[in-house]
Amino acid sequence: MTPESGSPRYEPHESPSLPSSLGLGAQPCFIYAAGVLITPVIVVNSSGGGDSYLVWMIFATLATIGITTLLQVARIGRMGTGLVLPMRTSFISIPFCIMALVDGGPSTLTALVLVTAAFQILISRWLFLLRRIVTPLVGGTVLMIVSLSLASVVFDLLNTETESGGEDAFMVALTTGIVIVVLTLRGSAAVRLWAPIICIFVGCVAAVVLGIYDFERVTQASWVGFPVSGWPGPGLAFGTAFWTLLPAFLFIGAIISIQVNGDVIAVQQVSWRQSRAIDFRRVQGAICSTGVGNLICGITGTVPNVTTGGIVSFIQITGAASRRVGYCIGGIFLAFAFLPKVSSLFSNLPGSVIAGYFVVVIGFMFIEGARTVIQFGTDRQKILIAGVSFWIGAAFEYRLFMPPDFGPLWGTMFQSGVTTGGLTAIILTLFMELTNPRRMRFRSQLDIETLPELNEFIAKFSERKGWDSDMTQRLSMVAEETLLTLARKDESKSLGNQRRLVVIASRDGLQAELEFIVAKSEENLEDRIQQHKQYNLETSGEREISLQLLQHYASSVRHQQYHEIEIVTIRVDPVGEATSPAS
């Protein structure tokens, strides 16, 4: 079923037959079901919740995942992506959801998840303003710290079961861990997709053989039903537990938003046959839908959700990027919520099986965070921010020293490595932004007539940064061609509705960076450059000549389109320093 040349067989707007769509949609549902339900199981069992609360949280988790997946696949106003983007529970929220339930009860968890959801909706609205603060570097650092917190929870769960089940529980965890490690390291792409459910199945078989898997809850569950009890109610609590955990949940909201950003970018890259520039309006829609979905999670009393990045592998293997498949995924998850016997198979997993499975999850989480830090830590200062923040978070998480008494409120807050490490990363990032050499700004109407003023601004910027005449000319050519290209897209607008232009000029090492910020437009400059390169037009109009010159002088061109705003970021190397043409 692998599509030719790795391109999708079905693009988002194309639809396979309904039976094929249902079959394709069922695969990721079964693949991700175990991982989806492990989160509420760990949270409820580790916090001492009862069976009725667990049954309700499993129902609410499946229902909200189904609903939010449907929101992601659709594109309603500024919500959704129009892409296959299923949801799952957020592993990184596990330690903090447990703390919320233990310290403040379900009403505190509800309040925290609602605030987190509202924060995500704000991030989606002002994503372009937060691009310098809520950075992938901060996200990767916090992700590494979260893996430490999650490891504490998982291994505490294993210790608890080992104390009651003896060596048998340890052997089950070891068997589960070995299976998923072997399948992940040596399995084919299709086998790796199914590795989580295979390892959990093998672990459950081992638990049955050793007599530590109780099927009573599964046999007693009905085939079809709705939990009539267990919902904690709509109450909200804003006590000490809420305020001490609020910073951690806000960090979780920011990290989930960064994860969603990465997932949507990855899904866009595999959803079309022809390469396209990343549409950040889809990113905003995905973060907004995730926030709305987490509002539902808060109201129903369950854990936060996040997008499933693993869907990229599924699309690459099956070639199914059709929205119809995405609708089937959401519908099947929603149907699972009303099949208690099916959901109870996963909710009754032994703690040793969960621990064995999560060894790989934690490892991937840490490595993904480290990979992000290395990718975006382009200089020693950024690497230092990541290193200092990580070790401060680790020191507070594992009590490597005795901190002073900060009082009940701040003392509890500083017990969390995520809070301390994440806050350190953001403070240091803000410090770097505030102490960077001041960026120069040019403001005008988006009009070709402003070209002389723009050239004067570029000359002043180049002189202030100490560049020679060759670099000044290169910057002027880039600025001129960008202005001409953007202004021509605006020619149909009346003078009264003419867009504003802001150009921000800065220096990053040897390179110059120019940011052109204007109101939104439907056409993407990156796509135009890509088309120009692809077709290699010999007879080009005036506009194609501008694109060709821009491609020649700029080392990179990035066009980010948000709702109501677009940002064209151009980097220029000094003469003799260019490494690659604009892309």
pLDDT of residue 194: 78
For residue 276, what are its two tokens? 């396209």
How buried is 1 (Cβ within 10 angstroms: 0-12 exposed, 13-18 middle, 19+ buried)?
Answer: exposed
Domain identity same for 225 and 300: yes
Query: How far is the C-alpha of 184 from the C-alpha of 195, rounded, in Å?
Result: 7
Domain identity same for 455 and 425: no
Range of the domain at 421: 4-433
Domain identity same for 348 and 488: no
Within a domain: 577:
no
pLDDT of residue 581: 42
HEC-encoded secondary structure of 126-145: CCCCCCCCCCHHHHHHHHHH
The residues pairing with 306 across neighbouring beta strands, listed in sequence order, are 88
Last residue of a domain, one of 409, 433, 457: 433
Neighbours of 430 (CB within 10 A): 12
Domain identity same for 382 and 459: no
CATH assignment of the domain containing 487:
3.30.565.10
Within a domain: 263:
yes
Within a domain: 266:
yes
Per-residue burial over 268-283, b if 16 or more Cβ lie within 10 Å, else e, is bebbeeeeebbbbbbb
Domain identity same for 299 and 384: yes
pLDDT per residue, tens digit, the chain (583 aa), is 444 445 778 888 888 888 888 988 887 887 777 778 888 988 998 888 888 888 899 999 999 999 999 999 998 888 999 999 999 898 888 888 998 999 899 999 999 999 999 999 998 888 777 767 767 777 778 778 878 877 877 777 777 777 666 778 888 888 988 998 888 888 877 777 678 778 888 988 888 888 877 777 777 777 887 877 778 877 888 888 898 889 889 888 888 887 788 788 878 878 888 877 778 888 899 999 999 999 999 999 999 999 887 787 778 777 888 999 999 999 999 998 998 887 777 667 777 887 888 777 778 778 877 877 887 776 788 888 889 988 988 888 777 777 666 665 565 566 677 778 888 888 888 888 788 778 899 988 888 888 999 999 999 999 888 888 888 888 898 888 888 878 776 554 544 456 788 899 988 777 888 888 887 655 555 555 454 444 444 444 444 445 566 666 777 777 778 877 888 888 888 765 544 444 4
CB 473 within 8 A of CB 463: no
Within a domain: 578:
no
Q: What is the DSSP string of 347-396?
A: HT--HHHHHHHHHHHHHHHHHHHHHHHHHH--SHHHHHHHHHHHHHHHHH
5: Cβ contacts below 8 Å, ≥ 6 apart: none
pLDDT of residue 406: 64
Domain identity same for 415 and 462: no
In the chain, the number of structural domains is 2
Domain identity same for 392 and 523: no
Q: What is the DSSP string of 242-292?
A: HHHHHHHHHHHHHHHHHHHHHHHHHHHHHS-SS-----HHHHHHHHHHHHH
Domain identity same for 429 and 453: no
Within a domain: 583:
no
Domain identity same for 113 and 210: yes
Domain identity same for 168 and 317: yes
Domain identity same for 424 and 445: no
Within a domain: 579:
no
Residue that the structure tokens 């490494």 belong to:
579
Query: How far is the C-alpha of 549 from the C-alpha of 542, rounded, in Å?
Result: 11
Last residue of a domain, one of 413, 433, 453: 433
User: Reduced to 3 states, what is the DSSP secondary structure of residue 26?
Assistant: helix
Helix (H) / strand (E) element for 340: namely: helix 340-347
pLDDT of residue 151: 80
CA distances (Å), origin 164, targets 161, 351, 427: 5, 11, 45
428: Cβ contacts below 8 Å, ≥ 6 apart: 385, 388, 389
Domain identity same for 478 and 356: no
Within a domain: 558:
yes
Last residue of a domain, one of 401, 433, 465: 433
**pTM of this structure:** 0.74
User: HSE on the CB side for 242, CA within 13 Å?
Assistant: 16
Within a domain: 580:
no
pLDDT of residue 575: 67
